[in-house]
Amino acid sequence: MSIIKAENITKTYNESTIPVHAINGINLQIEEGEFTAIVGPSGCGKTTFLNILGGLDKATKGSVEVAGVNIGEMPDSKLIDFRLKNIGFVFQAYNLIPVLTNKENIEFIMLLQKKDKKERETRAMELLEQMGIADKANLRPSELSGGQQQRVAVARALASKPAFILADEPTANLDSKSTATLLDIMAKMNQEEKATFVFSTHDQRVIDKAKRVITLEDGVVISDVTR
């Protein structure tokens, strides 16, 4: 089953009246349960494409369907709600809320979804356990290492069991040991929860772990390998 279906995605920026084609006619499908890396040199369009898939940016041309819904046609108010329920995000900078505990950070998405307290707490603790940091539940992000903070961010992305998780350079600020641990956890979640991950990355360690590698260059797909 296709979770994401991108058809003829084009993104053009008009800078000083000179059009810049960041994405140039990409057609792509992501199936449920994939562990996919989108790779390529800086400026190839990886992050732009990821943002369009996640509804954080809109394509100039083309369409993106997520779980059968065309998100490009949605008004912003409905798109925000759709993202909240269907798409998990993991960013390079973690983006945790510093005044909340780690457990509360994971619960936050579910709170916005109006899940009841017991369900939120149970799910948050379950994820902290799977991330290997249940003992850090009541600490704040600043009391964790970078690798541990990113584990909290991944747990938060998974909390509502979204259709897929978009991870934009999630290992960029991590050392080798933290990266290996995080990738092992995400691969395990991919297997056990059938969580669909789509990465944008330069990191060879992420590329080596991915089951599918899509290479972009100058805004087009030049290679798509499943292994």
The answer to whether 154 and 92 are in contact (CB under 8 A) is no
For the stretch 174-190, pLDDT in tens is 999 999 999 999 999 99
Q: Cα dist. 222→52, 70, 100, 176 in Å? A: 19, 25, 43, 29
Distance between CA atoms of residues 175 and 159, nearest Å = 25
pLDDT of residue 125: 97
For the stretch 17-72, pLDDT in tens is 788 889 999 999 999 999 999 999 988 999 999 999 999 999 999 999 999 999 98
For the stretch 129-174, pLDDT in tens is 999 999 999 999 999 999 999 999 999 999 988 999 999 999 988 9
pLDDT of residue 20: 81
Question: What residue ranges do the domains of the chain occupy?
Answer: 2-226
Task: Evaluate if residue 15 carries a pLDDT over 70.
Answer: no
Find out if CATH 3.40.50.970 is the number for domain 2-226.
no
Q: Cα dist. 176→49, 164, 184 in Å? A: 27, 25, 12
Beta-bridge mates of residue 38: 200, 214
For the stretch 64-97, pLDDT in tens is 999 999 998 899 899 999 999 999 999 888 889 9
